[in-house]
Chains A and B, each alone.
Chain A
Amino acid sequence: MSGRKRTLEAISFEFVMTVIAIIALIIIIAPSLVVLIVSFTSGFSLRFPPPGYSLRWYAELWDAWQLHFAAKNSLIVALWATGLSVVLGVAAALAISRSRTLSARLLDSLFMSPLVLPALAFGLAALMLFSLVGLPVSPLTLVIGHTVVCVPYVIRNTVAALAQLEPTLLESSAVLGASRLYTFRRIVLPLIRPGIIAGAFIAFMSSFDNVPVSLFLRDAATDMLPIRMWQDLEGKLDVTIAALSSVLIIATVVLVAVMERVTGLSRRLTN
């Protein structure tokens, strides 16, 4: 009797946990699927399910030059911010990763702090500083601001990759007479490259998607894609945005799949 009771109890536990987990996974994935379906509507509204299916909103998107312009700006800023983040971030990661000194730990906290501080407050602060020193907002100020909020991702992933590195490898290389630079180029860099790429990828995505910093640091001529989309959505619910959203979702899925192959992204983010 007691054995049976325990089994029922175990089943009730597994049932509840599994059901909640499945509901949660559906809640996570459903919104993206809904957008994909709605983007093929033949109607004028975001009604679900759509009254019919067509590619008209994709044709509309093809001609939406304002969105193209904003996408191009976002892409350029994201590429520059990622490049700068990788150069500055990898160098900093090399310096702080194996050091146990107080200054290394303080620098680590400083470099990570943009992750928790409200980005909007930082955007406002940066705008005020730039206007104080007389530097007008421009794509340059955008790149600077984005680099501050994106560099933590590069550092975190590079430090994690360096921590996996076997110190004996570097010692053997040195014993065999290789210079530090040669060892770095031929041994360290190839081994930490996937970590750097993973960090650069996350930095790029977060720059491309950034609103709070861009909101303050862009000039009137530099329209950024997420801000353009946000303002379009505030005004009217345009189905063109659904088509654009679908394109972005598909692009993200493809990039994540590539990154999973190249860097084992999912393992990196759970270890």
Chain B
Amino acid sequence: MGAAPASRDVTSYGMGLAAPLALFFLVFFVAPLLQLLWLSLHNDTAALHWGLGQYLHFLTDPFSLSVLGSTLLLGAEVTAVCLVLGFPIAWLYQRVGPRLQTIIILIVLLPLLTSVVVRTFAWIVILGRQGIINATLQSLGIIDTPLKLLYTQFGVVIALAQVQMPLMTLPLITALGRIDPNLDDASCSLGAGSWRSFFKITLPLSLPGVIAGCTLTYAAAITAFITQSLIGGGQMLFMPMYLYQQASTLQNWPFASAISIIFLLAVLAVVSVFTTLGRMSRGYGGA
């Protein structure tokens, strides 16, 4: 028992340890997704007739296409807002002492671990007719009647940006921490100026972090069912709610499956575009 042969690699464990989870995923993750695909390829709810009817329905229906379009656009807007607000946080993090660093990281982390319903609820309080923004603007006499902020695209974007901000900021902090600070100093002392050094040195070198952050933020923003439906209200429909309505209220499982597959493919397409960009940028950053 004690005489382990020295030649055996003691640092690795057998692949057999992964078998239980692999089996679990095969049964409860891969099989359901395959069944989803199978059902989406049927034209009727009883799943008797094969065909691409569900996909044709989605792709020729202006309403469905507009839901897909507005969902993808929403993701882009949220990602842009998160990048513009998140990058300076990561930049500030590298500039302050360890105590402030811990405070910044905890401020960023906290929303990530707070319930999404709670965070979204906070935005209802802020954006509502009697909310902070309207109350402040009215008491300052800037507006007479409350602005409509809830149930608007602006409201959804700002609320989602806050909810997803940690997913952007954490990879950026990691990426900026890996850049040699001497490069920025060198650039400045050679007369490039702070703005130019930032756009020519810091930003390009942090691209792997930017891309990782954008991927996570984008995927999370377009699938953020709760925030989309509570802040967007009934008038604004995005893919997750569309899927849920078709599956749950209308019990149209084949069409809901087709929506799921199209949505899955859209997410995968975006993720793989970002991953390809990431691979290219790592080559650039390492040069």
Contacts and interface: CB of A to CB of B under 8 A. Distances in A.
A209 B115 contact: yes
B129 to A, nearest CB: 10
Interface in B144-185: 158, 161-162, 165-166, 170, 173-174, 177
B41 interface: no
Contact of B117 (A32, A120, A132, A230): A230
B223 A118 contact: yes
Secondary structure of the A contact surface, majority rule: helix
Contacts of A271: 174
A55 B39 CA distance: 52
A147 B24 contact: yes
Interface residues of B, number: 103
Nearest to B15: A95
A269 B33 contact: no
A17 B240 contact: no
A220 interface: no
A83 interface: no
Contact of A46 (B111, B115, B128): B128
Interface residues of A, number: 104
Nearest to A25: B107
A256 B110 contact: yes
A1 interface: no
Contact of A91 (B4, B17, B85, B131): B17
A170 B215 CA distance: 37
B52 interface: no
A256 B107 CA distance: 11
A31 B165 contact: no
Interface in A78-94: 88-89, 91-92, 94
A9 B107 CA distance: 30
A208 interface: yes
29 contacts: A14-B194, A24-B165, A27-B161, A27-B162, A28-B107, A28-B162, A32-B119, A35-B125, A48-B125, A91-B21, A96-B18, A98-B12, A120-B240, A120-B244, A121-B36, A122-B32, A124-B260, A129-B28, A174-B8, A177-B2, A205-B113, A212-B225, A230-B117, A233-B121, A252-B113, A252-B115, A260-B106, A266-B105, A270-B105
Which 10 residue pairs of A and B lie closest in terms of their CB atoms, listed nearest first? A31-B122, A13-B194, A125-B32, A95-B18, A121-B260, A21-B88, A24-B85, A95-B17, A21-B92, A20-B88
